[in-house]
Amino acid sequence: MCFRNIKLIVGLANPFIKYHHTRHNVGSWFVQRLASFYKKVLKEDKRFLGYTGSLFQSNSKVLLFIPNVFMNVCSRSIMIISNFYHIRSDELLVAHDELDLEPGLVRFKFGHGHNGHNGVRNIIDVLTKKNNFLRIQIGIGRPKEIFEISNFVLSPPTLNEKNLIEKSIHRAVHATNILIQEKHTLTAQDFLKNFNVIDVLSSKELKF
């Protein structure tokens, strides 16, 4: 397994402006921040039902993508663009919100289940190799009561939470930049060990 072969980076989100600032859309915040880092602009591409951009890293093309469909059917647009560019599941990186990580934490994870996330569930359901893809889980925290989850994820974070989330996304962008550069010598296992959980309150620098 070699994460340097990532060819498609997807940020999960719900469409429409009213959802843009909600916790559930932090995956799209990440992709937009990544695009800005590389001075790229995402543009709507109706062929793929979403917003696309691209960058070249070490002579390899990496696509950036935000589906413009509802989260629970996001696999439809992801499969369209993946099939068009002949991208395998192990060349896919998906960024999404994670209830079981507090704001300020971000985790790179390969495989495993969906943990109740409808977007990830939908992707796993349609992939031939199911959960054979890399993820960036961006912490949003969890409400006290389980019945509050729907309203919680579809609401904006507090100002303090947003600040922590944005800092975690900044660190995730930095880690992703390392990930897709061919000059690093990290194995997949080493990368996941080093970037299992990134805490923005930690002073640890991400240097390789």
Rounded to whole angstroms, the Cα distance separating 187 from 199 reads 22
Give how far the C-alpha of residue 165 lies from the chain's centroid of Cα atoms, to the nearest Å. Answer: 13
In whole angstroms, what is the distance from residue 139 CA to residue 132 CA?
21
Say if residue 14 carries a ligand binding annotation.
no
Which pLDDT value is given to residue 205? 42
Q: What is the pLDDT of residue 130?
A: 62
Task: Look at the pTM and tell me if it is higher than 0.75.
Answer: yes
* Catalytic status, residue 24: yes
Q: Would you call 179 helix, strand, or coil by DSSP?
A: helix
Name the amino acid, one letter, at 135: R
19 annotated binding-site participant: yes
DSSP 8-class letter at 158: P
Which pLDDT does position 207 carry in this prediction?
38
The one catalytic residue in 24, 96, 112, 174 is: 24
Taking the C-alpha atoms of residue 110 and residue 133, their distance in angstroms, rounded to an integer, is 6
> Could you report the per-residue pLDDT of 149-200, keeping only the tens digit for each?
999 999 999 999 999 999 999 999 998 988 887 545 566 666 666 665 555 5
CATH homologous superfamily for the domain 3-199 = Peptidyl-tRNA hydrolase (3.40.50.1470)
How far is residue 140's CA from residue 123's CA, in Å, rounded to a whole number?
Answer: 21
Residue 48 structure tokens: 């793929």
User: 38 among the known binding-site residues?
Assistant: no
Question: What residue segments make up the domains of the chain, in order of their start?
Answer: 3-199
Any binding-site annotation on 118? yes
Please give the Cα distance from 178 to 61 (Å, whole number). Answer: 15
